[in-house]
Amino acid sequence: MKRVLVVDDEPDYPQLLSIILTKEGFEVRTAGDGDEARRIAAHFLPDVLVVDWLLDGAEDGLQVADAVTHLNPRLQTVLITGYPSVALEQRVAQMPTVRFLTKPFTPSHLVELVRDAAAQS
């Protein structure tokens, strides 16, 4: 069973994504910020990180992904944002382990990207 860590600082959002992904057969943990994500990842060792681009605090989602990748070099990331930009899309396009998902999205689109990422991890 592939492991997924969901990181988002919006209340209830990580739990909602967890329910969707758990129903699809993934083992899921959630975190509300980068520090919590690192603590969980150290023991959980996720295959896939689903992380919001803009998080409260000093870190963004790609910085969290970089930190968690040090724990699992095969980590694949799904970066979620409600604030897409050409610069961010270009940055992500140069990162082969990161997939880009713009809010709003359907549960099926999330599951499709996570499955693809899990297959690559």
* Element spanning 36, H or E: helix 34-44
Find out whether 26 and 114 touch, Cβ atoms under 8 Å.
yes
Q: What is the pLDDT of residues 3-30, one digit of tens each?
A: 999 999 998 999 999 999 999 999 999 9
Query: How is 77-100 classified by DSSP, letter by letter?
Result: EEEEESS--HHHHHHHHT-TTEEE
Q: Tens digits of per-residue pLDDT, 45-59?
A: 999 999 999 988 778
How far is Cα 46 from Cα 29, in angstroms, rounded to an integer? 9
Domain boundaries, the chain: 3-120
pLDDT score, position 91: 85
Q: Of 18, 19, 10, which Cα lies nearest the Cα of 61?
A: 10
Residue entry with tokens 């083992």 = 27
In contact, 53 and 79? CB cutoff 8 Å: yes
Exposed, middle or buried by CB within 10 Å (0-12, 13-18, 19+), for 41? buried
The candidate with the shortest Cα–Cα distance to 116, out of 92, 104, 99, is: 99
User: pTM higher than 0.85 for the full model?
Assistant: yes
Q: pLDDT digit string (tens) for 64-99?
A: 999 999 999 999 999 999 998 898 888 888 888 999
Instruction: Judge whether residue 34 has pLDDT over 80.
Output: yes
Contact criterion met (CB below 8 Å) for 27 and 1: yes
Fold of 3-120: Rossmann fold (3.40.50)
